[in-house]
Amino acid sequence: MANVTVIGAQWGDEGKGKIVDWLASRADAVVRFQGGHNAGHTLVVGDKVYKLSLLPSGIVTGTLSLIGNGVVLDPWHFRDEVAKLKDQGVDVNPQNLQVAENTPLILPFHRDLDGLREDASGAGKIGTTRRGIGPAYEDKVGRRAIRVCDLAHLDDLGPQLDRICAHHDALRAGFGQPPIDRQRLLDDLWDIAAFILPFAKPVWRTLNEARKRGKRILFEGAQGVLLDVDHGTYPFVTSSNTVSGTAASGSGLGPSQAGFVLGIVKAYTTRVGSGPFPTELEDDTGQRLGERGHEFGTVTGRKRRCGWFDAVLTRQSCAISGVTGIALTKVDVLDGFETVKICVGYRLRGQDIDYFPSHAADQAAVEPVYEEMEGWSGTTAGARSWAELPAQAIKYIRRIEELIETPVALVSTSPEREDTILVRDPFVD
């Protein structure tokens, strides 16, 4: 049996939550390997809706859920999200949820810095969630981070606080802010430590033991490949690597264990926040896509920008991340369109190109080249087999496969868990 790595192959918000939830019911362990609580997942199970932003989606199914070292963890948000799930009847405890001991913490001054920078950036705003994700990753690579394991050794935290304050106090002064209140920070950490530490485990060891026993492991990514700090639409990206290769470094299980790489792809394209978007529709069609797809961010509530499917970008994402097959979501949103369009190439200053360039000026200048297809009047909503799909919808899906050079493994036809067409089982292929 294969492991499965799930990533978003666009700008995030592709519907990973539902797909991971669907797969998690057949997995033995689910591990988040990057990002933080800036990544929202919405799960619909029967008449219940669960909104997660930090915890692995497997927690709702009772599957062993792990937060890997590649994640940055806001301990107070963690406590609140656990409490909210418990209020919804989900059993969350240290037996079914583990947090890697070496996971870096997001602290209050990270959130402060995130907001101060955005407010001061003017036209250069990135469009962050202001949750401290970027500054926390900066402290990780700057070797200043306080990690989960440090919560068990707060009496020895002095040298780390010296390093953190030497860096952050200078930044805060530049923004006219007072220095970090060290005593208040320590008091806050003492307060939260008792809640966090029971969940703290050597996650790398848990995963390697599961591997030895032949268990199915599901690696859950956050955001999307186009937000990857190296391969995305830089600088309008997140602060971590979102590609499938990060599953190894962000969890402590070697790269040979990534298994089937499932790229989640929306049947059209959306983006939250600033940055280039070649197929964006700022007209009635874009409005219609947004309304039918309920396109508002799970974490921020911000309205998502909408546009036609971009095969060039998706092909590039699949290549960079070694995607084995895609899960195509929200096909039902396109029901009733007389025509649908697919971006099959770009024109950059009069020249045709078949990839998305790296420089921001070139990214902003590309013009989409469209292929137009007949839409379908029938409904795809709730379909659970190919036979239930309109013929033209099947043609649309097959054309996407051809253009992105990656086969479809799953098709999602509604937010409901069971409204899924299984074409190829990622756990056995």
Residue 106 DSSP class? P
Token pair of 382, please? 């709730």
CB 252 within 8 A of CB 68: yes
Residue of 41, 110, 168, 231 marked active site: 41
- For residue 251, give the 3-state DSSP assignment: coil
Active site residue 41: yes
- As a whole number of angstroms, the distance between CA 344 and CA 313 comes to 9
Strands (E), 171-248: 200-201, 217-220
User: Which structure tokens are listed for 121?
Assistant: 């950036």
Q: Can you list the pairs that 137-140 forms with residues at least 24 positions away whose Cβ atoms lie under 8 Å?
A: 137/72, 137/104, 137/239, 137/240, 138/239, 139/104, 139/110, 139/164, 139/167, 140/72, 140/104
Buried b / exposed e across 177-188, counting CB within 10 Å, b at 16+? eeebeeeebeee
Nearest Cα neighbor of 99 from 23, 159, 5, 33 is: 33
Amino acid of residue 257: Q
- Contact between 325 and 408 (Cβ < 8 Å): yes
3-state secondary structure of 170: helix
Tell me which amino acid residue 420 is: T
Rounded to whole angstroms, how far apart are CA atoms 107 and 109?
6
The three-state secondary structure class of 193 is: helix
CA angle 47/49/52 to nearest 5° reads 160
Annotated active-site residue 13? The verdict is: yes
Catalytically active residues are 13, 41
